[in-house]
Structure 1
Amino acid sequence: MDGDELCFTQLNASCSRTRPRSRLSAVLLALVAVLTVVLNLLVVVSISHFRQLHTTTNLLVFSLAVTDFLLGFLQMPSVLVLYQSCWLLGNFICDVNFFMGGFLVSVSVGNMVLISVDRYVAVCEPMFYSTKVTVKRVQLCVCLCWLCSVVHSSWLLRDFFKQQHRYDFCSGACAAEFKLSEVAFDTAVTFLGPVAVIVLLYVRIFAVAVSQARAMRSHVTAFAAKRSEAVRPKKSELKAARTLGVVIVVFILCYSPFCVIIVGIMNNSTWAFDATIQYWLVYSNSCLNPLIYAFVYPWFRKSIKHIVTLQILQPNSSEANVL
């Protein structure tokens, strides 16, 4: 093989250099990474700075935004390097890259589940929301989410850390080999389980929202309200259904490629896994999360205005009215 096509021309066991993708694809991927970092950083700064946003729900959104910010800041650049050329950062950084990738994805999914639970209690049990969902309980749940993700990622990569050179297919690659049973377990924990929980919770939320809208419509009809007022609950039903569809569909579209891979390798005992464009389908969810969970809120737009115009640098800016 021509030496120019090797990652390390002086090594016989060198990997062949990845053929560069188009510049347009590289620019688009880099744009996704920058957008992920900027959007989630805006959410983090907004919630941490303005006191009006220090609520239990926003604490969960804050945790999600921190996770997605780290994914965009740490993981996306490394995957972009792998997508374009050879891995030149050594085995240790490769280990850290795999661990952080699995860890942050697990935390992100866990935060989504916690947000779903928070919304379920707020909609279905509003009278008990203030007593059940307290700041201390939310902080405890967030800490447990991060801790469980560390344990899960450490268990999944236990052999990878113990025998670092076992999975060195060639010099210049950052790849790992997992047993099919481990991949199936990881998929169940980070995809199938959370999807099932989120779907069940949001179906219940949707059912309650529809029943409340019907009750309001019946109440308005009983008092002979105007026709324009009577159709408002229908708009609420459509909005609730649309929000539910966006949350579920985006999450499934971003994470489903891994399930497709598992179905395609059921006849194999192991799975050699390289960082490819499939990573970006998962990581792109981190770019969409702030749009789904925060950008729809008016306070986010007001916070952006304060941040961009540097009003947050003024004295007592944390007391500003952004609600």
Structure 2
Amino acid sequence: MTDQTLVPVFDGHNDTLLKLYKAKEADKEKLFIDGSPADWHIDLPRARKGGFAGGMFAIFPPSPEKRRSGDMLSHDEPLPPQLPRATAIDSTIGMASILFKLERAGALTVCRNAAEVRAAVARGVLAAVFHIEGAEAIGADLSMLEVLHAAGLRSLGIVWSRPNIFGHGVPFRFPSSPDIGDGLSDAGKALVKECNRLKIQIDLSHLNEKGFRDVAKLSDAPLVATHSNVHAICPHSRNLTDWQLGAIRDSGGMVGLNYATGFLREDGTMNADTSLDLMVRHVDALLAALGEDHVGLGSDFDGAMIPAPIGDVSGLPKLIDAFARHGYGRELIEKIAWKNWAGALEKSIG
């Protein structure tokens, strides 16, 4: 595929801000603009090469504990304990600062509504939606949510997989149902209502089944899972069951395909030797469950092991080509690649 025929891709989830936050280099903007290490997935040169138009740039407050090796992650990963709020605030503010410094340096633009996303894609400027994965920095009184929203926060995953004061995430367990643990706390239910009021998209990707049901009951916005796959194909706790897909469909919501190999493969292993055809199989199932206006991409770039045929963001045209070979027309490919996310954000954040 030539540069002239690149399809822009707006992506539901990446962890590049965490990579930059943890990097030893002082000049984070230069690292992103000039080129990051070869084993990273996103930087500006590779984004331009691959047609990456932007996406939800996640702020994930990391746990201090070391995780086990990636090949074990998908089977039964012990979760770290609840993260202290002060620790979460430090890293959340640190990553938000990097995001806004990247904007000031001209590397991207932080978008606060769908019109700004569409305008950035049209101009060829990276469109970044300020997203948080794990709300540990937000206290029960929700005052921090107001501050973060004023700064540009427009998408929030209530939990990562560890528990917090708002609810419970699913552990990395295979094979497993997502029906693990309790639902949302009273604070979590209040958080859902406040996100609706402020027009902050709620991301269900790491939430357990009972928490998902609570959000579905309480929220007046479409249900969204930014980076999740189909449980019927890969029975991982992180993937969406038939009833969850049905609830998302009935709400007019959205699912972004996660490229993490352990959430794609029938054996649940983190193995880079994973075919593009398997990714297309998940997309086929999502299209059948949700319809062609409600399926997108949610790579988990810089946060997971992805299929070797893609490699990094510069390899996105290979996935687009796989869609075309499978018989998807240009209109459907553009919907999956970016237009459906623009529509979903318009419903959620305006």
Q: Answer 1 or 2: which has greater helix percent.
A: 1
Instruction: Tell me, yes or no, whether TM beats 0.5.
Output: no
If you compute each CA radius of gyration, which structure gives the higher value, 1 or 2? 1
If asked which structure has higher relative contact order (CA below 8 Å, sep 6+), I would say: 1
Instruction: With the length of structure 2 as denominator, give the TM-score of the two structures.
Output: 0.21
Q: Which has the higher strand share?
A: 2
In the superposition, the TM-score normalised over structure 1's length comes to: 0.23
